[in-house]
Amino acid sequence: MTEVQTDQNQVRSSREDDDIIQIKEMHKWYGEFHVLKNINLSVKKGERIVICGPSGSGKSTLIRCINRLEEHQKGKIIVDGIELTGDLKHIELIRKEVGMVFQHFNLFPHLTNLENCALAPIWVRKMPRKEAEEIGMNFLERVKIPEQARKFPGQLSGGQQQRVAIARSLCMNPKIMLFDEPTSALDPEMIAEVLDVMVELAEEGMTMLCVTHEMGFAKRVADSVIFMDGGEVIESNEPNEFFNNPKSDRTKLFLSQILAH
Amino acid sequence: MAENVSQDEGKTLSHLWRNKESRAVIIQIVTLVVILIFIGLILRNISINLKAIGKDFNFDFLFIPAGYDITFQPILDYSPEDNHLWAGVIGIVNTLLVAISGIILATILGFTLGVLRLSSNWLINKMSYVFLEFTRNVPLLLHILFVHAIITHTLPIPKNAISLNDTFFLTNRAIYLPEPIFESGFWLTAVAFFAAIVFIYYFKIWAKKTQDETGQIYPVFWISVAALFGAPIIIFLVSGSPLSWGIPVLKGFNFKGGLAIRPEFIALWLALSYYTATYIAEIVRGGILAISYGQTEAASALGLRKNRVLQLILIPQTLRIIIPPLTSQYLNLTKNSSLAIAIGYMDVVATIGGISLMQTGKEVETMLIVLLTYLFFSLLISAIMNFFNRKIRFKER
């Protein structure tokens, strides 16, 4: 896996110990609609950030901009020293380093769980199949479902599917993991098994950005919590301060709604 | 006592009827008996009726001269002195010819239309929509008559033929194309073509094995394209271009030389193709729309390029959805080709099932031949498509 990292040095401009993600004065529009307004965010290596906010606040759009599933129109996004522009080579390099987990898993239904995991190592990292499948098995073991390797995603429960999806991303050995509401589509009893995997990952020092409403998870692992509303970052603080001493009224209202039950 | 026994019997019978497995067996036996009785009655009816009008059941008529002319016989030669069997073979070949060329054109048109239907360009989208709806909602027979009328009524007689570069001639009798004349040495080019196919087959296997073992990825698609076109072209040129064209020339009232394509064939072929293509277009559109955009996003997020997303994620899933309904459209096209009789295209229905029937009075035998012909081709198409379907099905490994 190491030989792949060398070809990034050509396009990398900043130093290793800088922030791994830098977003500067970033704006995004959907046609006339201003979705993201002047976003400034920097994430250090190993930092765990939880992004929350009411629906439609732009939190998913924000993390989808980081691997260019959405295009930003103004400002800068620099990931691992590579600036995100229309340059396909840059996008490809960044996507190799950034894993993403989706709300609806988006596993490939025509491939087995192991093939789902091995696909990108084989076709992007150009790995021999045996090696790729070993890595796949390794991560399926990490998410505690090696026995499901040769089944198809459709044969698994939601929680298991999401764990396969996490394993699939990890097989690319990413430096950053993005989670887009990973537990929102799950039955309550399956949320825990997915959060356990995420907590474990956080404890190993993975750089993580999670859009989630799981406040317990935020309190437990987040280095900082960001609250967004109306396309803006309203408040960003470390979790204790954020939950016990929110500054803005909008944050207070949101927290009172989400923590009421 | 007697009462008890009958009660017990009643119990076991109703028990058998209520048991899921035994009930299934009973229903099947009853169905089978009913069907056998039905078939038996029909056969009895046929033999009684044939006897009543003094006919017997045999296929001897196949070997007496047919005596009628077949206007379109592009592959095999036929003359009125040939027997009914040979006339039937010519008809079957004509059916096959229009079915195969129709399936090819319908597939190309259908996939193109299906993709155009998804276009975000307003004009393209609406134009393909209007064409689709108009075509689908008019009976196929009208389309065939329509195209046939256009060719026979608007094109000029051979004397005033519309000439395209003096090599193609459009007339109301036929469309004349240059005929390829293969000279000695052309077989080398043909061999190169088939060698290229064999090469591609083994190259694919080898490339997959190499990728599995070393991770190295070869541009299989482009190498295949290069081999398929490059090898025959190079051999063709090296062997001194052993191919010439017989240009049709007007002699007297008609053209001589070249390939003559009859208006009946063109009308049937075009109408069948674009009519079936509209159904295929909807199947293709449905197949593409059925795959959620999340699949593309997930694959892109893993770092796969656009062409790989298409190759590894989208096409395999789309094919799975569209192949079964595509099969029934191919079957429809083949069976609809029997409408040929409306414009005098000599297919199997017009020859053995039409003129031969009239001349010999062998209704049962000729219809049986026509029926078995369609049944055979339909089963053949199904078998081929099922083979493809099995190849791309979910496999547990």
Mean pLDDT of chain A: 90
Yes or no: say if B289 and B178 are a contact pair by the CB < 8 Å rule: no
Asked whether the predicted pLDDT for residue A73 surpasses 80, the reply is: yes
* The domain boundary residue, chosen from B52, B71, B94: B52
Amino acid at residue number B244: S
B325, with CB counted inside 10 A (0-12, 13-18, 19+), is middle
What ranges make up the beta strands (E) of A113-229? 176-180, 207-211, 224-229
Chain B positions with Cβ closer than 8 Å to A: 211-217, 292, 294-295, 297-305, 308, 312-313, 316-317, 320, 394, 396-397
Q: How would residue B225 be classed by pLDDT, with cut points 50, 70 and 90?
A: very high
All residues at 6 or more sequence positions from B193 whose CB lies less than 8 Å from its CB, including other chains: B228, B231, B232
Report the number of distinct structural domains present in chain B: 2
Instruction: List, in sequence order, every residue forming a beta bridge with A180; answer none if it has no partner.
Output: A211
Nearest CB neighbour to B215, from listed A100, A126, A165: A126
Residue B251, SS3?
strand
Q: How would residue B174 be classed by pLDDT, with cut points 50, 70 and 90?
A: confident
Do B269 and B354 belong together in one domain?
Answer: yes
- Inter-axis angle of helices B315-336 and B84-117, nearest 10: 140
Q: Has residue B109 been placed in a domain?
A: yes
Closest residue in chain B to residue A102, using alpha carbons only: B298
Looking at residue A11, its pLDDT comes to 54
Nearest CB neighbour to A69, from listed B211, B217, B300: B300
pLDDT average, residue stretch A94-111: 94
**Exposure pattern of A118-151 as b/e (b: 16+ CB <10 Å)?**
bbbbbbbbebbbebbbebbbebbebbebbebbeb
- Tell me the chain B residues in contact with residue A108 when contact means C-beta distances shorter than 8 Å: 295, 298-299, 313, 317
For residue B261, give the nearest of B33, B71, B6, B77 by alpha carbon. Answer: B71
What ranges make up the beta strands (E) of chain B? 162-164, 168-170, 175-177, 179-182, 243-246, 249-251, 254-256, 259-261
Do B268 and B381 belong together in one domain?
Answer: yes
Q: What CATH number has the domain bearing residue B286?
A: 1.10.3720.10
Do B295 and B373 belong together in one domain?
Answer: yes
Residue-wise pLDDT for B12-41, tens only, equals 778 888 888 888 899 999 999 999 999 999
pLDDT average, residue stretch B128-137: 93
Q: Has residue B213 been placed in a domain?
A: no
Do B32 and B111 belong together in one domain?
Answer: no
A93, with CB counted inside 10 A (0-12, 13-18, 19+), is buried
For residue A56, give the nearest of A30, A24, A21, A75 by alpha carbon. Answer: A30
- Tell me the chain A residues in contact with residue B213 when contact means C-beta distances shorter than 8 Å: 128-130
Please state, in angstroms and rounded to a whole number, the distance separating the CA atoms of residues B19 and A142: 48
- Give the dihedral of Cα atoms A106, A107, A109, A114; nearest 10 deg: 180
Closest residue in chain A to residue B213, using alpha carbons only: A128
- Inter-axis angle of helices B84-117 and B263-289, nearest 10: 40
Residue-wise pLDDT for B273-290, tens only, equals 999 999 999 999 999 999
Residue A71, SS3?
coil
Q: How would residue B394 be classed by pLDDT, with cut points 50, 70 and 90?
A: low
Mean pLDDT of chain B: 89
Instruction: List, in sequence order, every residue forming a beta bridge with A210; answer none if it has no partner.
Output: A50, A179
Q: Which domain holds residue B28?
A: 2-52
Look up residue B355 and give its two tokens. 């003129």
Q: What is the CB neighbour count within 10 angstroms for residue B112?
A: 15
Do B379 and B285 belong together in one domain?
Answer: yes
Which backbone phi and psi does B177 adopt, to 5 degrees? -120, 155
Do B93 and B46 belong together in one domain?
Answer: no
- Tell me the chain B residues in contact with residue A96 when contact means C-beta distances shorter than 8 Å: 303
Do B270 and B364 belong together in one domain?
Answer: yes
Q: Has residue B198 been placed in a domain?
A: no
Contact criterion met (CB < 8 Å) for A106 and B317: no
Please state, in angstroms and rounded to a whole number, the distance separating the CA atoms of residues A52 and B346: 73
Q: What is the DSSP letter of B58?
A: -
Please state, in angstroms and rounded to a whole number, the distance separating the CA atoms of residues A44 and A22: 9
Q: How would residue B127 be classed by pLDDT, with cut points 50, 70 and 90?
A: very high
Please state, in angstroms and rounded to a whole number, the distance separating the CA atoms of residues A259 and A52: 13
**Helices and strands, number each (H, E), in chain A:** 10, 10
Do B373 and B273 belong together in one domain?
Answer: yes
Contact criterion met (CB < 8 Å) for A172 and B303: yes
B302, with CB counted inside 10 A (0-12, 13-18, 19+), is buried
Q: Has residue B231 been placed in a domain?
A: no
Yes or no: say if A105 and A165 are a contact pair by the CB < 8 Å rule: yes
Q: Has residue B40 been placed in a domain?
A: yes
State pTM to two decimals. Answer: 0.79
Nearest CB neighbour to A106, from listed B295, B316, B396: B295
A10, with CB counted inside 10 A (0-12, 13-18, 19+), is exposed
Please state, in angstroms and rounded to a whole number, the distance separating the CA atoms of residues B130 and B259: 35
Do B7 and B118 belong together in one domain?
Answer: no
Q: Has residue B110 been placed in a domain?
A: yes
Do B349 and B287 belong together in one domain?
Answer: yes
- Give the dihedral of Cα atoms B264, B267, B272, B277; nearest 10 deg: 160
Q: Does A161 touch chain B (CB under 8 A)?
A: no
**Best to test chain B binding among A94, A101, A106 (most B CBs inside 10 Å):** A106
- Tell me the chain B residues in contact with residue A109 when contact means C-beta distances shorter than 8 Å: 317
Residues 116-135 of A with CB under 8 A from B: 119-120, 122-131
Residue B212, SS3?
helix
Q: Has residue B114 been placed in a domain?
A: yes
Our CA-based measurement puts residue B304 at a distance from the nearest CA of chain A, in whole angstroms, of 6
Nearest CB neighbour to A129, from listed B212, B302, B316: B212
Which backbone phi and psi does B332 adopt, to 5 degrees? -55, -45
Amino acid at residue number A239: P
Q: How would residue B11 be classed by pLDDT, with cut points 50, 70 and 90?
A: low
The total number of residues shown for chain B amounts to 397
- Tell me the chain B residues in contact with residue A134 when contact means C-beta distances shorter than 8 Å: none
Q: Has residue B18 been placed in a domain?
A: yes
Do B133 and B37 belong together in one domain?
Answer: no
Do B267 and B347 belong together in one domain?
Answer: yes
